[in-house]
Structure formats: C-alpha cells, structure tokens
C-alpha cells in the first residue's frame, strides 16, 4: 500500500507546498481553572452559597449585630416608622423589628436544615427498604401515594392543628409532609441502579445486599439526595412561614419571620414595613437556597439538569 | 382502553382509603386524650365529656373508622364542634370562591407559563431565557402571602386599579367577579407558573434536541411550527403531568391566599377551623381537597392518549 | 457552473474548554445529477459539513464561515426565510437514525405532506393524496393505510423509506444523505441503496452521501471526498481512489476494510489498523493533521501543513510525499 508514497528524501524542498492557514472565525474561549473557574461556571452555587452562609452567620451572631432583646415590649414607642434608631421600625407592641428579623433567621434556618436532614434520613431508609424488599414495596408505596395526595401544606396544617405550637412540632409536621417525595426519589434511584449491569454482576457474584447498598447504591444516591435536600430545605422554610403566618406554627413568643409577618398583618395597609422586612429576608434566603439547589443539580448531575 | 380505565379507577381506591385512614387517625396520633385536644385549654370537664360522646370514643377504633367511612359515603362529614352545623353544609357555603379562585388561577397560570417555558427553551442561553428562569426561581422562593401583599399594595392601595380584598359571587356578574380574583389568582399562581414554566422549558429543551426536530428544520418548517406543532406536542405529557401535580400547590396556597385577600372560601374555613380546633371541619376539608387532587390526576392520566399515540392502554 | 460549490467552509463550535474547529477550510463541488460520497471516521466533520450546507447548525454555539454556493446563490448570505424555502424543497436531507428522525406524534402522511404544504402550497387533502403516491413510489405496501399510521407502527426500513419520501416529495435538486443505511440491517441496507439509485434516476437529483462505510461508497458514488480532522485530505473518482489511493490516511482506511472472500485466518488477510487517535480539534494543529498517526511522518510533516495538490488528473491529495503521477501499484 505504500507504493504510492515517496520516501522523504525524494521530495525537493522547493516542491513543498504549504496549505494556507485557516483563520479564526470566533474569539478564543478563555478556559478558567480552579476555584474561580468553578464559581464562574456555577454562579448559582457561588451566589446562593454566599447568601446562605451570610444568613447562617447572621443567625449565629444575632446578639452581636447591634440588636436589642427581640421580645422586649415597649408600648410607649409602638409602630414607629423605620429610622436611625429603629432601623426597621417597631411593631404594635413596640418591639424592634430589626432585632426580631435578625433573630428570626434562627427559626427559619433551623427548621429548614432540620427538615432537610430528617426528611433525607427517613426518606433514604424508606426508599431503600422499598427498593430492596419486594413485599414491603407495595405497601410502602401505597402509603406514600396516600400521603402525597394530601397537599403538603394542608398535611402540615392538619398535623399542627393537633399539637401545641413549638419549633419541634413544626419540624416534625413539615418532615412528615416531605418524606414521601424523598423516599420516592430514593426508590427510583435504587430501582434504576438495580437494572445496571454492574449491580447485576455484583448480585450474580453473590455480594450481600448490605454491601451492594453501601458500595453501589448509596454513592449514587448522594448527588440526587443532596439536590433534593436543598429543595426540601427551601420548601420547609416557606411552609414554616405559612404555618406561622396563619397562626398554626412557631409560637408567637419566639420571633420567626412568619410570626413577625402574622403580627404585622393587621396593620399591613398602614404600616407595610412590618411585613416588608421579614418578607424580604425570607424571600432572599429561600431564593439563595433554591439557587444553591439549582447550581448543585447542574454541577452534580448533568443528565438531571437537562430534565429540570 | 376500557379495561385500563377501570383498572386505573380501581387503583385510586387504596390511595383514597389510605388518605381517609390517615385523616381519620390524625386525631388519635396526637398525644393525650383526643377529646381534650379538641376541647382545648379552657374547656371544662363537661365540654370534654360532650366531645367524647360526639366522637363516639367509647367504641373500638376500627368500628369508629368503619362508621366514619360509611357516613362519608352517604355524604355525611360530621358536625362542626364550633358551629354545630353539618360540615357538608359549611363546605357547600364556601366552595364557590375557592373553586373560582382555583379555576382562574389554573387558566391564568397555564396560559402564561407554557408560552414562557417554550420561549425560554427556544431562546436558551439568552437574556430572555435567563429572565424566565430567574422569574421561576423567584416564584419558588417568595411565599404566596408575600406576593399577595405586594400585589395588593401596588395594584390596589397605590394604583387603585383593583379591589384590595373580598369576593363577589359570579352571580353578581363576570366583571366584579374577575376583578376580585385577578390579584389573588396572580399571587396564588406565582409558584404554579414557576413550576410549569420550568418543566415546559426543560422538556422542550430535551425535545428540541431530538432528531425529528432536526428533520423538521431540514424540511424548511418555520420556527413557530417547530416549536408548537413538532415540539410542544411531544413535550405535552410531562407538562400536563406537572400541571396536575401542581394542583397540590394551588390547594395549599389557596388556604393562605384566601386569608390575605379575605376571600370567604374553603381556605379561610380551614384556617378558622384550625384556630378553633374544629376537627371535623379540618378532616372534612382535607379529605375533600385530597380526593379532588387524586381525581384530577386520574383524569390527567386518562388524557395522555390524546397527546401521545404511542401510549396504548 | 457546478450545482453546489463549497469554498473554504469553516464550522466552529464554542465549547467550555475551547473552540472546536469541526470543519476547517473545506472546499468541494457537486455537479447536477452527480453522486459524491464524503467518507471519514466519526468525528471527522462529515456530518457537520452536511448540516452546515443546510445551515442546520445552531448559531450560537456554532458559527459557519466561507461560502456555500448553490445554483449560484450563496446560502450563507440568505435570510432565514429564504433559507427555509431552500430546505426540503431544493435541497433535502436524509438522516442516519430512521427510528428517531420521524416525529412520533404526527402521522406519516402529515409528515410527508408538511413539505408539500410548505413549499408547494398544497391543501391538506392534496398533500395527503400526494403523500400516498410518494409512499407507493418508495415501495411501501398498502400506502392508503400506512399514510394514517404513526412512525412507531413501522419497521426501521419502512421508516427510512418514509424519510426518503419526505426528502424527495418536492423533487429536490440536491439530496444529502447522512449515513442513510448505517442503522439498518444489511439486507435492508441493500434495498435502501437500490431505492436511492432508482429514485435518483427518476428524480434526477444530485446526491451527497455521507458515510464511513466504504462498501456503500463503492456501490453508489461516482466521486469520493476523504475527510480527516475537519479537512479534505483526498478527492478522486471512485475507481481511482480505490485503485490508487494517494493519501496515507485513505490507504489506511482501505487497508482496514475487510474484503469479501478473504479467509479469517492467516497472516496476509490480517486487517490493518490506523494507530493512534484523531487529534483534538480544539487546539490549532501545526503541520499535517495526519502527522500524529501517519506511518511515513517526517519533520517536514510536523512543521508544514501540506496543501491540496492535483497528484494525477482529477486526483487531489494533501500529502507532501504522495507521488504525482499514477504508478501501477
């Protein structure tokens, strides 16, 4: 086959014809590496993460942030407009709205993170059982279907109506409402992984179920679970505010963003700032958590990113 | 086809049974004496005893559940502890505003969100796409009552275009009816719009990458035809599914929206019942909402064949 | 003047890790009624070339430069509306995947009729009647019934026949077939190729067939263009190319093709392989694009990219060392 190719020595240098170089038709791509590159490619994670971090710091260091006692009543200075003295004004009991908002971050964040954690753990356990224990699957999934057909806010409301308002009960009620979604997700991942050839291979080699779960299933559930937990956290914060807002959530004695708004409700047409400030903080925090979730989803699971 | 419908309808029975059992059991999950829980802190022992009698707590659990289900089948949801009216009567009085709000929101949301999602998918990566996605994240993040107050403040208090609060029955005419519903519907719809727009965009993006879309382009089909004839019909099943699932958001949101806009509907009834611990009413409303939700999603399941000829029952 | 004249075609894509120069400076032409094959490994830019001709490359992230003259008009200068009038009408295209290239939710008749309604202004009923004729033409039995069916009710071979019916419905002057038989069974492949040859005679369209299958090339093409790393490396009439390939890459391609009748054992019939991998198109390549894999590479190859030169009448290759006159091999 090399018959039609000359050997290198046969070509005279003056016979060499160089191809004309092709021009660039678009500007070169700047490839960014390292942490900044990651932030640049995942602005959602950068922005969302930063805001969430700031909110956590605000909640932890609330006493140091020029706040006063958020529950201190002062009937003499009720419903003051925002000023240099009262940054966000005072409510109808004369409490400093700024201090209440700063302390209120604690409730929202604790509820959000606790629900995300407990719903993930419970959902993971239920999902794994459902995915591996054939006879339990039918029963569990029917129960989850049943729970899912009760709109989650309604379910949380119904649960709260029974118990005394406390942060713990709020967490419990919202967790129960969120568990079906997480366990369905885990079950879905388990079932699809069980079809994978490498899991089949592990099963046919006699690997025991706990080992398969530990080695093959859990590592693959981490990414979707993390994303889901972020969304659960965001939704829990919203549900907490709704519960508190309609008077079935965090007890009024504890300042939470939902409570502050519930108290400002009666006056919202004349003193809108009482509702406004907690609303902005709540919205920004939930937005940040959602952005973080979107960013994580795009970064962790490109296939899922296309779907949603 | 017929066999499928029957099977599908039968499959909802266990789901509804579990909902019923759960709603019924709610009262007994709580720690302590359910009669005392319902009676509240200021009740006298006589009150507690009266409630215990009306709940039939002296009978065994399953017997109580059985007779409760039997009553529901006959259309009897019990009697309100607070007003002593039958729960069914109370629900009937309150159903029109809630139904109106839901339908207006549904129509509004679908007609805004689907085109939004389609355009975002078409213009993916541009500022239009980013704006739609930004709006969607915002819709997920701002609680419905915050949107409600914001809208009421701007459009009712400041601009005075629409009524601040209240509800006018449809029997009083279309214009006053819709005027009162626009702001609540937009507020309630914000999450729903976000959800539908997002799933529409995501599904459309996936469909637009399919080979048959390339075929359609190669045939010389225009952008509108590609988006709405070739792509959207293929994307319909996931979109319609999410529209159905999202009704749960509408139901939950209605409870809050009705409080914000002082609409005398089922949501207000729920909130009032919770504050008064009027448990038969809470059970009745939760049960009703859940059954409606299950039935709507059943109907949507059965509609899939309209969108996709590959789905055969 | 040739029917299609592609000159210095460049199609580049913006990706997160650099600009992908998928097609970089490709020129070729197609005469009316001629069948030209473009061959090369996957990733050599042949499909991108075909998509570029119809401007089906999404821009951004892609960008097309150069000129594509069809009947004297530069397609790259047309407005979107003018371009749509060309697609499916004057130039049409058949794709590789018949299973996924038809819209699953529209009937076959509607999909064939769509081009007719778009370009010939037919009414829905006229278009359907013509769709039935087209189905008959491409050899689908019971066209009256099939026209109302959905793609999932047809076999792979039938779907590709439907694709051909769609492509030929408006009597195009140029048909681009991108791996039209790759996804099909061997027996069906032969049927589809026969059908394309027959229809070419009746319709009189020029065909650009894109394939990695040299068997298909030998069967249908008159002229062959060999592409490597986004560039043309060799072009000749089909018998010349198969008889006396000039470029080492073409030689490698032919050497890696199993021959009918050769036994599977024994040293002589061992298939040759081309060592190494296609270079990344995201970096500028110094020298000859094939230098990293060529068995004859020298320093000259690594430094200077060889120009396309006529090595024999009608036989072009881009290799410093390809000999100029035909030699009995």
Cross-chain CB nearest to B214 (options C84, C95, C118)? C95
Determine the pLDDT at residue B197.
Answer: 93
Determine the pLDDT at residue C328.
Answer: 43
Task: Determine if the pTM surpasses 0.90.
Answer: no
**CATH code (residue B286):** 1.10.3720.10
Q: Residue A18 domain-assigned? A: no
Are B49 and B193 in a shared domain?
A: no
What is the domain range of residue C294? 1-81+173-180+208-263+272-328
Determine the pLDDT at residue A143.
Answer: 86
User: Coil, strand or helix: which one is B261?
Assistant: coil
Are B69 and B116 in a shared domain?
A: no
What is the domain range of residue B20? 2-73
C104 part of contact set with chain B, CB < 8 Å: yes
C114, B219: Cβ pair inside 8 Å?
A: yes
Residue at which a domain ends, from B73, B100, B123: B73
Whether the pLDDT of residue A115 is over 90: the answer is: yes
B218, C100: Cβ pair inside 8 Å?
A: no
**Tokens found for residue B240:** 């319609």
Q: Residue C224 domain-assigned? A: yes
Determine the pLDDT at residue B109.
Answer: 93
Q: Residue C315 domain-assigned? A: yes
Q: Residue A148 domain-assigned? A: yes
Q: What ipTM does the predicted assembly reach?
A: 0.83
Q: Cβ distance A130 to A140 under 8 Å? A: yes
Q: Residue A150 domain-assigned? A: yes
Q: Cβ distance A269 to B157 under 8 Å? A: yes
Q: Cβ distance C39 to C177 under 8 Å? A: no
Cross-chain CB nearest to C103 (options B125, B212, B307)? B212
Closest CA in chain C for residue A41: C16
Cross-chain CB nearest to B215 (options C51, C89, C95)? C95
**CATH code (residue A125):** 1.10.3720.10
- Give chain B's domain count: 2
Residue at which a domain ends, from B73, B107, B134: B73
pLDDT tens for residues B120-145?
Answer: 998 888 899 989 988 888 888 888 88
Position with higher pLDDT, A173 vs C181: A173
Q: Residue B81 domain-assigned? A: no
Residue A216 DSSP code: I
Which among C53, C55, C22, C54 has a CA at the least distance from the CA of C40?
C22
Q: Residue A307 domain-assigned? A: no
Indicate the average pLDDT of chain C. Answer: 83
**CATH code (residue C278):** 3.40.50.300
Q: Residue A63 domain-assigned? A: yes
B219 part of contact set with chain C, CB < 8 Å: yes
Band the pLDDT of A198: cuts 50, 70, 90. Answer: confident
Band the pLDDT of A306: cuts 50, 70, 90. Answer: very low
Band the pLDDT of C262: cuts 50, 70, 90. Answer: low
Are B61 and B94 in a shared domain?
A: no
Cross-chain CB nearest to A4 (options C272, C306, C323)? C323
Q: Residue A141 domain-assigned? A: yes
Instruction: Give B100→chain C minimum CA distance, Å.
Output: 34
Residues of B in contact with A247 (CB under 8 A): 271, 274-275
Residues 6+ apart with CB under 8 A from B274: A157, A160, A161, A246, A247, A248, B282
B220, C166: Cβ pair inside 8 Å?
A: no
Q: Residue A125 domain-assigned? A: yes
B219, C100: Cβ pair inside 8 Å?
A: no
Instruction: Give A38→chain B minimum CA distance, Å.
Output: 19
Q: Residue B296 domain-assigned? A: yes
**Taking a contact as any Cβ pair under 8 Å apart, which residues of chain B between 193 and 252 contact chain A?**
198-199, 202-203, 205-206, 248-249, 251-252
List average pLDDT for each run of 10 residues in chain B, which is 313 residues long: 80 86 78 67 75 73 83 82 85 90 93 93 87 89 88 84 80 83 91 91 89 88 86 88 87 88 89 82 88 88 79 64
Residues of B in contact with C84 (CB under 8 A): 220-222
Cross-chain CB nearest to C101 (options B125, B211, B310)? B211
Band the pLDDT of C304: cuts 50, 70, 90. Answer: confident
Cross-chain CB nearest to A11 (options C14, C245, C320)? C320
Q: Residue A14 domain-assigned? A: no
Residues of C in contact with B309 (CB under 8 A): 104-105, 150, 152
Residues 6+ apart with CB under 8 A from C184: C98, C156, C157, C160, C192
Residues 6+ apart with CB under 8 A from C148: C107, C108, C109
A142, B18: Cβ pair inside 8 Å?
A: yes
Whether the pLDDT of residue C228 is over 80: the answer is: yes
B49 part of contact set with chain C, CB < 8 Å: no
- CA quadruple C134, C138, C143, C149: dihedral sign: negative
Are B32 and B179 in a shared domain?
A: no
C243 part of contact set with chain A, CB < 8 Å: no
């Amino acid at each position: 086959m090399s018959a039609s190719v000359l050997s290198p020595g046969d070509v005279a240098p003056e016979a060499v014809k160089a191809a004309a170089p092709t021009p660039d038709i678009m500007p070169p791509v700047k490839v960014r590496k390292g942490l900044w590159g990651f932030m640049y490619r995942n602005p959602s994670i950068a922005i969302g993460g930063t805001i969430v971090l700031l909110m956590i710091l605000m909640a932890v260091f609330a006493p140091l942030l020029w706040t006063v006692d958020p529950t201190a009543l002062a009937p003499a200075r009720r419903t003051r407009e925002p000023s240099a003295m009262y940054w966000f004004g005072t409510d109808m009991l004369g409490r400093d709205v700024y201090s209440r908002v700063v302390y209120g971050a604690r409730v929202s964040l604790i509820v959000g993170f606790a629900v995300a954690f407990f719903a993930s753990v419970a959902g993971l356990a239920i999902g794994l059982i459902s995915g591996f224990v054939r006879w339990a699957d039918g029963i569990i999934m029917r129960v989850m279907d049943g729970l899912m057909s009760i709109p989650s806010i309604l379910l949380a409301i119904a649960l709260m109506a029974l118990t005394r308002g406390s942060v713990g009960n709020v967490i419990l009620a919202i967790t129960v409402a969120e568990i079906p979604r997480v366990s369905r997700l885990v079950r879905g991942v388990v079932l699809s992984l069980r079809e994978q050839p490498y899991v089949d291979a592990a099963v046919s080699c006699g690997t025991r179920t706990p080992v398969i779960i530990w080695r093959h299933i859990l590592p693959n559930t981490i990414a979707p679970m993390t994303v889901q937990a972020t969304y659960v956290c965001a939704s829990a914060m919203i549900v907490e505010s709704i519960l508190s807002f309609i008077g079935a959530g965090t007890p009024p004695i504890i300042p939470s963003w939902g409570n502050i708004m519930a108290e400002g409700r009666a006056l919202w047409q004349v003193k809108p700032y009482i509702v406004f400030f907690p609303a902005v903080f709540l919205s920004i925090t939930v937005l940040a958590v959602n952005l973080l979730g979107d960013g994580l989803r795009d970064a962790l699971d490109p296939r899922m990113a296309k779907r949603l | 086809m017929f066999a499928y419908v029957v099977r599908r309808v039968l499959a909802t029975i266990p789901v509804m049974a579990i909902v019923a059992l759960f709603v019924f059991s709610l009262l007994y999950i709580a720690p302590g004496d359910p009669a005392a829980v319902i009676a509240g802190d200021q009740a006298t022992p006589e009150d507690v005893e009266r409630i215990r009698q009306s709940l039939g707590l002296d009978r065994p659990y399953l017997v109580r559940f059985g007779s409760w289900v039997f009553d529901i089948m006959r259309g009897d949801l019990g009697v309100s502890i607070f007003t002593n009216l039958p729960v069914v009567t109370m629900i009937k009085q309150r159903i029109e505003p809630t139904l109106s709000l839901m339908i207006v929101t549904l129509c509004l949301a679908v007609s805004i969100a689907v085109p939004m999602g389609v355009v975002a998918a078409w213009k993916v990566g541009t500022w239009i796409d980013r704006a739609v996605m930004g709006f969607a994240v915002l819709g997920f993040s701002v609680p419905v009552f915050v949107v409600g107050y914001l809208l009421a403040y701007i459009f009712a208090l400041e601009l005075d275009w629409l009524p601040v609060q209240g509800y006018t029955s449809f029997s009083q005419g279309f214009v006053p009816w819709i005027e009162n519903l626009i702001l609540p519907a937009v507020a309630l719809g914000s999450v729903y719009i976000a959800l539908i727009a997002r799933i529409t965009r995501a599904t459309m993006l996936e469909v637009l990458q399919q080979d048959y879309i390339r075929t359609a382009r190669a045939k010389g089909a225009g952008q509108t035809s590609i988006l709405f004839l070739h792509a959207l019909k293929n994307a319909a099943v996931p979109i319609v599914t999410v529209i159905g699932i999202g009704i749960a958001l509408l139901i939950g949101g209605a409870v809050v929206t009705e409080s914000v806009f002082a609409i005398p509907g089922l949501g207000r009834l729920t909130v009032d019942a919770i504050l008064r611990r009027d448990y038969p009413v809470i059970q009745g409303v939760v049960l009703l909402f859940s059954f409606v939700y299950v039935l709507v999603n059943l109907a949507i399941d059965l509609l899939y064949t309209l969108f996709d000829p590959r789905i055969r029952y | 003047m040739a029917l299609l004249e592609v000159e210095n075609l460049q199609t580049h894509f913006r990706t997160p890790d650099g600009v992908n120069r998928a097609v970089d400076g490709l020129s070729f032409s197609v005469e009316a009624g001629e069948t030209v094959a473009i061959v090369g490994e996957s990733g050599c830019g042949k499909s991108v070339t075909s998509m570029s001709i119809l401007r089906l490359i999404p821009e951004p992230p892609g960008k097309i430069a150069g000129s594509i003259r069809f009947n004297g008009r530069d397609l790259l200068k047309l407005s979107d509306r003018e371009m749509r009038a060309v697609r499916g009408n004057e130039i049409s295209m058949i794709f590789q995947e018949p299973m996924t290239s038809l819209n699953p939710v529209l009937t076959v008749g509607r999909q064939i009729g769509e081009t007719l309604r778009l370009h010939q202004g037919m009414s829905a009923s006229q278009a359907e009647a013509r769709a039935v004729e087209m189905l008959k033409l491409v050899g689908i039995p019971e066209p009256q019934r099939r026209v109302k069916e959905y793609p999932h009710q047809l076999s792979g071979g039938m779907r590709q026949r439907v694709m051909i019916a769609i492509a030929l419905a408006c009597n195009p002057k140029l048909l681009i077939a991108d791996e039209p038989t790759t996804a099909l069974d061997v027996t069906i492949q032969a049927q589809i190729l026969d059908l394309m040859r027959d229809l070419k005679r009746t319709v009189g369209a020029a065909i650009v067939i894109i394939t990695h299958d040299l068997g298909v090339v030998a069967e249908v093409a008159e002229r062959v263009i060999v592409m490597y790393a986004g560039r043309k490396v060799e072009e000749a009439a089909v018998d010349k190319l198969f008889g006396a390939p000039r470029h080492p890459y073409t030689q490698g391609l032919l050497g890696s093709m199993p021959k009918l009748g050769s036994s599977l054992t024994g040293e002589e019939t061992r298939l040759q392989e081309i060592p190494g991998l296609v270079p990344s198109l995201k970096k500028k390549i110094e020298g000859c694009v094939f230098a990293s894999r060529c068995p004859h590479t020298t320093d000259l190859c690594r430094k200077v990219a060889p120009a396309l030169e006529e090595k024999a009448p009608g036989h072009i290759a881009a290799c410093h060392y390809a000999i100029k006159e035909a030699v009995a091999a």
